Amino acid sequence: MSERGQAVSYDLAMAMFIFVMVLAGIIMLWTSNLKSFETQFSFNEAQVKAFLLSDLLLKSPGVPVDWETRDLNGVTSLGLARKDRVLDSGKVLRFKDWVDSNYSEVKAKLALPTYEVFIQLDAVDPMTADLNFGVPPPGNAVRVSVRRIAVYGDSEAIVDVTLYQTP
């Protein structure tokens, strides 16, 4: 009878050892992949925000519609469009002036407190000047860009909206 009790104790000890080893392996795997999960989540979040920002700027006239004639404090939402993907040059130039002089306030209006913003408007027509808004990302920044086509002036333009965070 005593041998049988020892066999059960040995089986239990072996089962516990295997269980603990499997549990330790799962925990190690989880912690080693957690950082990559967080990085992927942050990247996906930035992609969504960049897409929404490009939509806001290129499809909406803003609120109020004549915001370019007002003070930045009186603006609820910034939008550069006269109509869907047709940019209003007065709004574009006013937006550039505000970004150049009040970058942090414009960023707050765009609801992007944790990201830096850089927007490039490259006109296809060589007679139309290219414009840059915001702070260009440094070389080591993790960045997300959305490229859209819009009409600026009388020709097409490529609009690059880049969001990034510096390490």
pLDDT single digits (tens) 113-159: 889 999 999 987 776 778 899 989 998 888 999 999 999 988 899 99
Question: CB count, 10 Å around CB of 163?
Answer: 29
Residue 106 near residue 85, CB atoms below 8 Å: no
Please, what is the average pLDDT of the chain?
A: 88
Confidence of residue 42 (pLDDT cuts 50, 70, 90): confident
Angle at 72 between CA 148 and CA 133, to 5 degrees: 35
- What pLDDT was estimated at residue 52? 94
What share of the chain has pLDDT > 70, as a percent? 94
Q: Give the pLDDT confidence score for residue 79 in this predicted structure.
A: 94
Q: Rounded CA gap, 95 and 133, in Å?
A: 8
Distance CA 35, CA 17 (A): 29
